[in-house]
A and B are shown apart, each in its own frame.
Chain A
């Protein structure tokens, strides 16, 4: 029909990888249709300068106001406006994370794309430019994490080191202190803090401080509980994350989708985690860290859908939006009766996974083939999920990994020796992947 054929698809993983790995294309050529795309604020200006475009755009906005997609498309005039706008720069426009007028840009983006989207999709295309623009950040990160080999640092606390690095940088220190003091300021006996202000301060921190500081604080690897608790405390969960009531994950998603910024970050997270994961595993030459380019190290931090580590475990990493514990309390205990030891602990993992290369077993890390399998498997089923399957995404990761255990062998076999190569560097990614599960 009119819209389904012209849906903006997320970039194909091949394209992302190619554009990241390869040299810049000659002559400013635009191989993926991205580099040439203008941002939506600019596209809106171009459209406003053209009488045909601006009147259609106005029509479309009126069509969309308060109506669902089908009602809108039933109207001939709305349909025509949509068709014309698909030829305009507005249709291809994207936004940059942290750009000037970011919110305005996103509003323009969604004003067109809400009309194009097929109603309730599980995943949406990201309104943000793809990973290439953040490449420098990513490679700087690669050097940080590769310097974190376990041998020389058996006694060190990476999360404490990350805090030190931040404190010694004026910008990082200022914005970190900014959100910490906002998020830990008690208002009254009844109100622990101003959540709204706390989220805003967190957003500023993650938007304005370079990834080499923020990623390091969020994804530091831990050997002991003090370290893991410090990591969990990074976003001041008592204010930004914990809540009296744990809402349903789907309700939470709806709330997030009603907010342009939250919706965009969620879509961007889906695009970046999901799209490039599988591909990178099968091409070990590409540093797995390129998977990181979800523009925020913490896609939802500062929004209703704030994800965090659910506990201070050092060996199993579970990240979920603040809703998960409502489902996790007690339920996951009896969901995996066949393999109770799956509540992942390091010794148990050593016994259970003889397929793992030796040096992974004694690393300090969060690497766990089951977790990765979960992501891959979810990816395969992801877009086709029905409502009941979606619900299960809100259960704990332990349950999910149990469900897909049989696939583990396939995965490891397929990888073979090359897993050694990337295991150390992929570690920081795992939380992101798990976040996908939790969402």
Chain B
């Protein structure tokens, strides 16, 4: 079962979804309305390029010292879903854009 867990943690980058209340989003809105929150999750091992390997090498050889760099591709939304509108607890409507991922990729 440990192997199973390890494998689950190393799934490739993909779109996942959760049903959450608007309040849970933490954006400051107070509403019990439920929305579908889609996010990107997974690893990007297959997407490592020469760029990443070289960057890593430069860093280990101290050619790059103080700057913050990322030598690994990252699982992020490539496109965002349409706007989401909801009614809050004070009967005001709000529309939030780019709340939810539509497509994921290693960038």
B24 within 8 A of A: no
Q: How far is the CB of A205 from chain B (nearest CB, A)?
A: 11
CA distance A364 to B93 in the complex (A): 26
Given contacts A167-B34, A168-B36, contact A184 B93 (CB under 8 A): yes
Interface size class of A (residues with CB under 8 A): 20 to 34
Q: Are A181 and B35 in contact (CB under 8 A)?
A: no
A415 at the interface (CB under 8 A from B): no
Contact A233 B91 (CB under 8 A): yes
- Write the B64-91 contact mask toward A (1 if CB under 8 angstroms, else 0): 0000000000000000001111110101
Q: Is B33 an interface residue (CB 8 A)?
A: yes
A174 within 8 A of B: yes
Decide: A168 and B82 in contact? CB cutoff 8 A: no
Q: How far is the CB of A173 from chain B (nearest CB, A)?
A: 7
Say if the beta carbon of B45 comes within 8 Å of chain A: no
Complex Cα spacing A165 to B66, Å: 50
Q: How far is the CA of A344 from the CA of B83 in the complex (A)?
A: 40
B31 → A minimal CB distance (Å): 9
Q: Contact between A173 and B32 (Cβ–Cβ < 8 Å)?
A: no
Q: In the complex, which residues of chain A have a beta carbon less than 8 angstroms from the beta carbon of B89? A: 226
Q: How far is the CB of B17 from chain A (nearest CB, A)?
A: 9
Q: Are B87 and A163 in contact (CB under 8 A)?
A: yes
Minimum C-beta distance from B89 to chain A (A): 8
Other-chain contact of B33, A163, A178, A184 (Cβ < 8 Å): A163
Q: Per-position contact with B for A166-182: 1 when CB-CB < 8 Å, else 0?
A: 01100001101110110
Q: Are B95 and A229 in contact (CB under 8 A)?
A: no
Are A177 and B91 in contact, CB atoms less than 8 angstroms apart?
Answer: no
- Whole-angstrom distance from the CB of B98 to the nearest CB of chain A? 13
Of the candidates A157, A173, A183, A226, which one forms a contact with B84 in the assembled complex, judged by CB atoms under 8 Å apart? Answer: A173
Chain A residues, CB < 8 A from B95: 177, 180-181, 184
CB atoms of B82 and A233 under 8 A apart:
no
Please name all residues of chain B whose beta carbon is closer than 8 Å to the beta carbon of A176 when the two chains form the complex: 85
CA distance A308 to B60 in the complex (A): 68
- Determine if A181 and B33 form an interchain contact, defined as CB atoms under 8 angstroms apart: no
Interface of chain B residues 1 through 38 with chain A (CB within 8 A): 19, 32-36
CB distance A164 to B33 under 8 Å?
yes
Please indicate the chain A residues that have their CB under 8 angstroms from the CB of B85 in the complex: 176-177, 180-181, 184
Report the minimum CB–CB distance from B20 to chain A (whole Å). Answer: 10
- Check A167–B93 contact: CB distance below 8 A: no
Which residues of chain B are within 8 angstroms of A229 by Cβ–Cβ distance? 91
> CB-nearest residue of chain B relative to A169?
B36
Contacts of B82 in A (CB 8 A): 173-174, 177
Residue of A nearest to B21 (CB): A164
When A177-B82, A181-B95 are in contact, do A230 and B36 touch as well, CB less than 8 Å?
no
Q: Are A160 and B32 in contact (CB under 8 A)?
A: yes
Chain A residues contacting B83 (CB-CB under 8 Å) are 177-178, 181
B32 contact set on A, CB distance < 8 A? 157, 160
- Inter-chain contacts of A141 with B (CB < 8 A): none
Answer whether A180 and B93 are a contact pair too, CB < 8 Å, given A168-B19, A233-B87: yes
Within 8 Å of chain B (Cβ to Cβ): is A236? yes
> Contact at A163–B86, with CB atoms within 8 Å?
yes
B34-A168 in contact (CB<8A): yes
Question: Which of chain B's residues have a CB closer than 8 A to the CB of A180?
Answer: 85, 93, 95
A142 to chain B, nearest CB (A): 25
A164 and B33 CA atoms in complex are apart in Å by 6
CB-CB under 8 A from B36, the residues of chain A are 167-168, 173
**Best-surrounded residue of B34, B85, B89 (most CB of chain A within 10 A):** B85
8 shortest A-B CB distances, which residue pairs? A180-B85, A177-B85, A164-B34, A181-B95, A184-B93, A177-B83, A167-B35, A174-B82
Beyond the given A164-B19, A167-B86, A230-B87, please list 6 additional residue pairs across the A-B interface where CB-CB is below 8 A.
A167-B33, A177-B83, A177-B95, A180-B85, A180-B95, A229-B91
The contact sample of 15 A-B pairs, CB cut-off 8 A, is A157-B32, A160-B33, A163-B33, A163-B87, A164-B33, A164-B34, A167-B33, A167-B84, A167-B86, A168-B19, A173-B35, A174-B82, A226-B89, A233-B87, A233-B93
- Point out residues on A near B: beta carbons under 8 Å: 157, 160, 163-164, 167-168, 173-174, 176-178, 180-181, 183-184, 226, 229-230, 233, 236
B residues bordering A, Cβ < 8 Å?
Answer: 19, 32-36, 82-87, 89, 91, 93, 95
